[in-house]
């Protein structure tokens, strides 16, 4: 393999790592730090422009003094903190053990095969969290049951529409509407001592914590474009949640 082909292969690998980190929910500074660690092992210098949809990367080979620029589109986001943690650990191991290009590539492929939590476990755990929030806001056990069922149904619809590749904001709206509709029956039939708490907490699983936190950290690190895009994404998600909740309340004539 000649020097030019090897540099291109390094660029593609680093772009793949950057894309995987972004898709998994990493903030921009974490992406840059991880790439810099891998680049130092590969004896290249990486300069990247990372936007919400595209990554442009230029690699400069310290030995041959050649450079190449490659562009990669970022696929739809699927939050997975396990990937972020595994890649960060791999970058440190690569430095301490002086990994080759092939070793880094093999490790990234292994990380891609890591299994997510079973779907039923996610549904139950998130629904229990919704019931827990309901309890925090003075809901009784019946209200917690309504919150559990509402969250379960809303998250199930959200997951199903993701499999069907619906637009993110449509998925958020449908998940919010289904969860709010189920919780509205609790108010309509007076289930529990404080039915509104189930309605208020049934959609909390949709709160865009990752985009809003990442927007804040990106803005602090002067990644203004990514920070503003993520902040806007968070606001759009909140708007979609609010529309779903409002429509359910309007249908059931709830104040």
Task: Classify 138 as helix, strand or coil.
Answer: coil
pLDDT of residue 1: 56
Answer for the pair 142, 192: CB distance below 8 angstroms, yes or no: yes
pLDDT of residue 65: 85
* Cα–Cα distance for residue pair 251/246, rounded to 1 Å: 9
Strand partners, 56: 49, 71
* Cα–Cα distance for residue pair 233/136, rounded to 1 Å: 28
Backbone angles phi, psi at 70, to 5 degrees: -135, 155
pLDDT tens, N- to C-terminus, the chain (255 residues) = 566 888 999 999 999 999 999 999 999 999 999 999 999 999 999 999 999 899 999 999 988 888 999 999 999 888 899 999 999 999 999 999 999 999 999 999 999 999 888 999 999 999 999 999 999 999 999 999 999 999 999 999 999 999 998 999 999 999 999 999 999 999 999 999 999 999 999 999 999 999 999 999 999 999 999 999 999 999 999 999 999 999 999 999 987
The dihedral sign for the CA sequence 240, 242, 245, 248 = negative
pTM: 0.89
* Cα–Cα distance for residue pair 59/62, rounded to 1 Å: 9
pLDDT of residue 63: 85
Answer for the pair 47, 67: CB distance below 8 angstroms, yes or no: no
The dihedral sign for the CA sequence 227, 228, 229, 231 = positive
Continuous H helices in 113-223: 119-136, 141-163, 168-188, 195-201, 209-220
* Cα–Cα distance for residue pair 240/170, rounded to 1 Å: 7
């Amino acid at each position: 393999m000649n020097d030019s082909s090897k540099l291109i292969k390094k660029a593609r690998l680093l772009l793949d790592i950057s894309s995987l980190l972004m898709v998994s929910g990493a903030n921009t500074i974490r992406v840059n730090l991880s790439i810099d660690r891998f680049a130092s092992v590969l004896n290249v210098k990486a300069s990247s422009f990372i936007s919400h949809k595209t990554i442009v990367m230029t690699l400069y080979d310290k030995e041959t003094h050649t450079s190449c620029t490659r562009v990669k589109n970022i696929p739809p986001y699927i939050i997975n903190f396990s990937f972020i943690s595994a890649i960060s650990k791999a970058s440190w191991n690569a430095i301490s053990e002086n990994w080759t290009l092939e070793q880094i590539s093999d490790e990234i492929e292994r990380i891609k095969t890591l299994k997510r939590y079973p779907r039923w476990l996610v549904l139950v755990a998130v629904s229990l969290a919704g019931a827990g929030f309901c309890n925090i806001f003075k809901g009784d056990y019946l209200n917690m049951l309504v919150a559990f069922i509402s969250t379960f149904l809303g998250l199930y619809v959200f997951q199903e529409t993701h499999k069907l590749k619906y637009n993110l904001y449509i998925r958020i709206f449908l998940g919010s509407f289904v969860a709010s509709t189920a919780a509205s029956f609790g108010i309509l039939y007076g289930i529990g001592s404080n039915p509104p708490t189930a309605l208020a907490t049934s959609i909390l699983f949709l709160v865009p914590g990752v985009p809003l936190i990442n927007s804040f950290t990106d803005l602090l690190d002067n990644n203004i474009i990514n920070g503003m895009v993520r902040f806007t994404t968070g606001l759009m998600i909140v708007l979609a949640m609010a529309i779903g909740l409002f429509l359910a309340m309007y249908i059931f004539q709830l104040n």
